[in-house]
Amino acid sequence: MDKIILKQMMFYGYHGVYAEETRLGQRFYVDAELMLDLHTSSRTDDMRDSIDYGKVFEAVKTVVEGKPKNLVETVAEAISDELFRAFDKLQACQLKVTKPDPPIPGHYQSVGVEIFRERDI
C-alpha cells in the first residue's frame, strides 16, 4: 500500500495522569504513516487526488493541543478518529505518539504508543 509519511511533528499538550503534566504541559512528537492509493495523484499531479500534508499537520495539532486526556493511548486514538473524519481517501494509518520528557523516574529516551487503524467499511 502507498503511504504518505510525516515524522516527528512536534506539539505542546497537557495530557497525562500526573498533576504537573496537566498543569505545566509537555512536548509530544507524532509520526504518521497514512495509507492510501497514490496512483492517481502521481499521474495527475493534483493535490485533490491526494492528502494535503499541511492539513494533516493541522488535524493532528487540533487533537494534541486540544482537550487534555489522561492516556497517550487516548491521544493516538483521537488522532486516528480525526484523520479518518477529515480525509475520505485515507484507508489506514499507523500513528506513533511519543512523550520525550514524561515525569517518571528512570533513564530512557522517551515513552509512547504506536497504533494501526483501518477505516471502518
Q: Which residues contact 62 (CB under 8 A, 6 or more apart)?
A: 82
Q: Cell match 515524522: residue? A: 7
Say how far apart CA 121 and CA 112 lie, in whole Å. 28
61 is catalytic: no
Q: At what angle do helices 53-64 and 72-86 cross, to 10 degrees?
A: 140
| Marked catalytic residue, from 7, 55, 67, 99 | 99
Q: Residue 15 corresponds to which cell in the numbers above?
A: 495530557
DSSP annotation string for 56-87: HHHHHHHHHTSS--S-HHHHHHHHHHHHHHH-
Q: Which residues are catalytic?
A: 99
